[in-house]
Structure 1
Amino acid sequence: MDAPAADRASRDASIALGLTLPTDTVLYLLLPLHAATFGVTFAEAGLLLAANRLVRILGYGWIARFYEQHGPRAACSLAVLGAAASSLGYALLPGLWWLLAARLVWGLSFAALNIATQALATAEAGGAARRSGRSRAIIATGPMIGLVAGALIAEARGPHFVFLLLGGIALLALPFALRLPGGHGERVRGAPRFGLPARIDVWSFVQGMALDGVFVLGLSVLAASALGGQGQGAALAAGLALALRYASEIALGPAGGALAHRFGAMRMLVLLSTTSALALAAIGLGGPGLWIGALSVVLLRGLLQPLPAPAVAALNPGADRVPALARLATWRDLGAGAGPLAAGLLLPVLPPTLVYGLTGLALLWAGLALPGPRLRPERPAPRAP
């Protein structure tokens, strides 16, 4: 695949994921606030949100093999249909077991779309970091708009109507999925998803736990409390807080990819992880440090998001690349699932200074333990004489 074809395929896959991802992110916003409306208890709502990550952890290897055998067009087309079906399930089928089935369908759908966006962004080494940055910005647009609009529509028409709309929007991704390359995908060699993780897998786990787990839970609670507490505006407050994460990816994702292109993905990964760790620790100080640290984490996360895929691709060339990307996503899901559980257990009994300080320390350790910055910046091929 040449660079223009890789650009086009990466863009189409990213648009498909951007249009379908709100069916998941908006559920994280509305299900805890409207658990009774969906026919579940608050504890069952937590189980449903965790089930999405569980099936992704268990299913990434199977989805990667399906991607190899049938190619990105078939994998992503089925995933789009699965995303739309899951959203309709949230809207029309209340109760734990129906919603659990919808969550499992979405989990497998996301796995296919996630592998495709990362694999296609790195299919051609030249410009991989820049493609990854553009991809993250495109993908983040859907959740950013969906969270704010979903919160507003839910207050006016109820949460079920929101998911009817999101199911229809997800189907708009089908033409983009059908434009992806057909035939077989890239060869995927069998590789253990667990066992002894590589250092970048450990970093992915800690990053998921810290920035997608502990930080997100704390940020949502703080924003909801500051902008409306438990009143009618709580959904909008939490939606704005979560949307800010995706806004930073849109604004800074391309810049992060450009920095990786210029200085090397691993160099930037180590630098931004270290800086994010310091910002996390500042959150626990409270007062001005809380807001300065939170804003810094949001901005740094936007720069950080495009970097893991090109870094892993450079560490695992050839046929090892796609299974390495799937393994990285698996470890991130494990961390992102453990983070909210850890925060929920520790924040009520420990001071925020200690919780966020230890979280920042873990991220600092994981960043400094990454392989040395031996991934060189991408350089254009020499011109023919």
Structure 2
Amino acid sequence: MIRTQSIYLIALITAVCVMSDSMLYIVLPVYWPSFGLTNLWQVGVLLSINRFVRLPLNPLAGWLHAKFGLRRCLLAAVCISVATTLSYGLLRGFWLLAAARCLWGIAWAVLRLGGYLAVLEASGPDNRGRLMGSYNGLWGLGGLVGMLAGGIGTDYWGVQPAMLAIGALTLVGLLIAARYLPQAQGTGTAQSDMPPARERRRARPPWLNAQAVLTLLSGLVIASVFFGILPSTLTGIIEERPFQLSLFGVALGAASLSGILQGLRAGWSPFLSPWFGKLSDRPTGRKPWICASLIASTLLFVLLSMPSVSAWLWFGCLLGALLLNTAVTTWLDASAADCASEAPSARVPMMTSYTLVFDLGSALGPAIGYMVIDSFGVFRLYRTSGLLLFLLAIVWAVAWRAQTAKRRLSP
């Protein structure tokens, strides 16, 4: 049985594993010749190939967890993480690094699904949101440390020493995982929990009810907007604004301001995600919070698309959108776990499907976003994103009203 304390352990181990990945996003665009690369386009491929590898491999990650259990899968993923981190410091050349990035894509698919399944097993309806928020916030802290420590370490000591130092830290994480990771029970699908053969032959799986479909659709939209469009166009929309901010008398460019904002979001996530999750653990449930956050996001995206808005109000809207990013992701992750908790046979397929659509949205968001920008401009893209979020809010409002009516009719 997974205990609550084990969630924090798994989150911290995951944080150590993602440090090298986050470091690459800071270091590779600047020091790419030190990695043996010959063209700048290779940087883009290396930073994105792991995302595309995850798309077809998410079902494989689900099968592995169902077949071998949580502990063995997480240990294997951490081992791969150690190998890939060390390879970033030792290997040179595009194809070798591309192979390492593909392996990291496999490791991350297994790590993230394992974290979701661990939260699902350790939690109940009264604490699932808080634990999901704590898990997301803690492993996200590893990304922040990787960006800051990796960038500073590379500037002072060079690429290879900095990457090998993070590799050594990841190896320590592997030793801790091997010693303290628990063995989860019930991750897979027991034969007694399987539906009858006639039900398994149906076109729609029994766990894929209306709430699960809404959660999966929302995961696709939220990932496209908040993890695809917003981070990839943040620098561009800041550049479109006719104002300039300064810090301690130093003018901040669009890229600097974008980096500071992304760092702020990563910094507050470990502290605010558990609090947001705890809010949704109340008897009212998660639907009103998701609905309200989508309506607020709609308003903020519309304001961000208006050049006439004052500079400080516009900047506040930008901070608000990043804050809602943290909140709605926590609530949606917990909602997916709620759907998966309805039956033991639903755990792996539901969470696997959720991670798949989330990765798909994260990959499609930038591509579709820049197609819209090329034809209509960045402000039209943000208005369209706001409309999409508003339509999604209407669906959640209908679901919330149906849930409220059902509770009133219940004896």
The reply to whether TM is greater than 0.5 is yes
- Relative to structure 1, the CA distance from residue 78 to residue 169 in structure 2 (aligned partners, 3 Å threshold; closer, same or farther) is same
Match of 1:152 in 2: 152
Indicate the SS of the match to 1:182: coil
Aligned counterparts, 1:205-220, within 5 A: 205-220=220-235
How many residues in Structure 1 have an aligned counterpart in Structure 2? 368
**2-structure distance, mates of 1:144, 1:375:** 39
What amino acid is the match of 2:183?
G
The CA distance in 1 between the partners of 2:32 and 2:375, in whole Å, is 26
Residues 60-108 of structure 1, C-alpha deviations (whole Å, 9 max, x = no match): 1111111122221111111111112112222222322111111111111
Matches of 2:10 and 2:347, distance apart in 1: 18
Q: Which amino acid aligns with 1:334?
A: L
Structure-2 residue corresponding to 1:380:
none
Q: Distance in 2 between matches of 1:109 and 1:13?
A: 14
CA distance in 2, matches of 1:108, 1:71: 16
Residues 136 and 270 in structure 2, CA contact (< 8 A), matched pair in contact too: yes
Taking a change above 3 Å as real, the CA distance of residues 212 and 89 of structure 1, as seen in their structure-2 partners, is same
1:185, distance to aligned residue in structure 2 (A): 5.2
Q: Deviations over 1:25-83 (max 9, x none)?
A: 22223323333443053322222222211221111111111112222111111111111
Specify the alignment match of 2:250 in structure 1: none
Counterpart CA distance in 1 for 2:332 and 2:115 is 13
1:285 to 291, 306, 310: 306
Task: Indicate conservation of the 8 Å contact 1:9/1:180, yes or no.
Answer: yes
User: Structure 1 stretches of 5 or more lacking a match?
Assistant: 377-385
Instruction: With the length of structure 2 as denominator, give the TM-score of the two structures.
Output: 0.80
When residues 357 and 33 of structure 1 are mapped into structure 2, their CA distance, relative to the original with a 3 A threshold, is farther
| Structure 1 residues 150 and 349: alpha-carbon distance in aligned structure 2, compared to 1, 3 A threshold | farther
Contact 1:219 1:241 in 2 (8 A): no
Structure 2 partner of 1:181? 182
8 Å Cα contact 1:48/1:100 also seen in 2? yes
- Call closer, same or farther: CA 1:107–1:282 in 2, change over 3 Å: same
How far, CA to CA, are the matches of 1:29 and 1:100 in structure 2? Answer: 17
1:133 counterpart SS class: helix
User: Against the structure 1 CA distance between its residues 234 and 357, is the aligned structure 2 distance closer, same or farther, given a 3 Å change threshold?
Assistant: closer
Identity %: 22
Higher mean alpha-carbon deviation, 139-148 vs 177-186, is at 177-186
2:382 maps to 1:356:
yes
Equivalent position to 2:263, from 205, 228, 243: 243
Match of 1:99 among 91, 97, 100: 97
- In 2, distance between residues paired with 1:236 and 1:153? 19
Give secondary structure in 2 for the equivalent of 1:307. Answer: helix
- Return the match for 1:328 from 347, 354, 357: 354
> 1:280 deviation in Å?
2.5
Instruction: Verify the 8 A CA contact 1:280 1:360 in the aligned structure 2.
Output: yes
Which aligned segments of 4 or more residues in structure 1 are displaced greater than 6 angstroms?
Answer: 189-192, 222-228, 233-237
Q: Is the 8 A contact 2:235 2:254 kept in 1?
A: no
SS at match of 1:35: helix
Letter in 1 for 2:300: A
Residue 383 of structure 1 is matched in structure 2 by: none
Contact 2:80 2:104 in 1 (8 A): yes
Q: Partners of 2:236 and 2:33 in 1: how far apart?
A: 20
Q: Which amino acid aligns with 2:281?
A: H
Distance in 2 of aligned mates of 1:223 and 1:23? 28
Is the 1:269–1:307 contact (alpha carbons within 8 Å) kept by the matching residues of 2?
yes
The reply on whether 1:268 has 2:289 as its aligned counterpart is yes
AA matched with 1:140: G
Q: CA deviation at 1:226?
A: 6.6
Question: Which of the two has higher C-alpha Rg?
Answer: 2
Q: CA deviation at 1:375?
A: 6.8
Cα displacement (A) at 1:349? 4.8
Partners of 1:21 and 1:375 in 2: how far apart?
A: 38
Q: Secondary structure at the residue paired with 2:376?
A: coil
Q: 2:326 aligns with which of 297, 302, 306?
A: 302
| Pair 1:22-2:19 in alignment | yes
Q: CA deviation at 1:12?
A: 1.6
Kept after mapping to 1: 8 A contact 2:66/2:188: yes
Tell me the C-alpha RMSD between the 2 structures. 3.1
CA distance in 1, matches of 2:359, 2:291: 20
Name which of 60, 65, 72 aligns with 1:74. 72
Which has the larger displacement, 177-186 or 267-276? 177-186
Normalised to the residue count of structure 1, the TM-score between the two structures is 0.85
Partners of 1:285 and 1:152 in 2: how far apart?
37
- Superposition pairs of residues 112-261 of structure 1, within 5 angstroms: 112-123=110-121, 124-126=123-125, 127-178=127-178, 179-182=180-183, 186-188=187-189, 198-220=213-235, 239-261=259-281
Contact 2:261 2:319 in 1 (8 A): no
Distance 1:141 1:334 in 2: 23
Q: Which amino acid aligns with 1:205?
A: L
CA contact (8 A) 1:121 1:132 kept: yes
Deviations 1:326-380 (A, max 9, x none): 111111111111122233444355332211111222222234334713679xxxx
SS in 2 for 1:186: coil
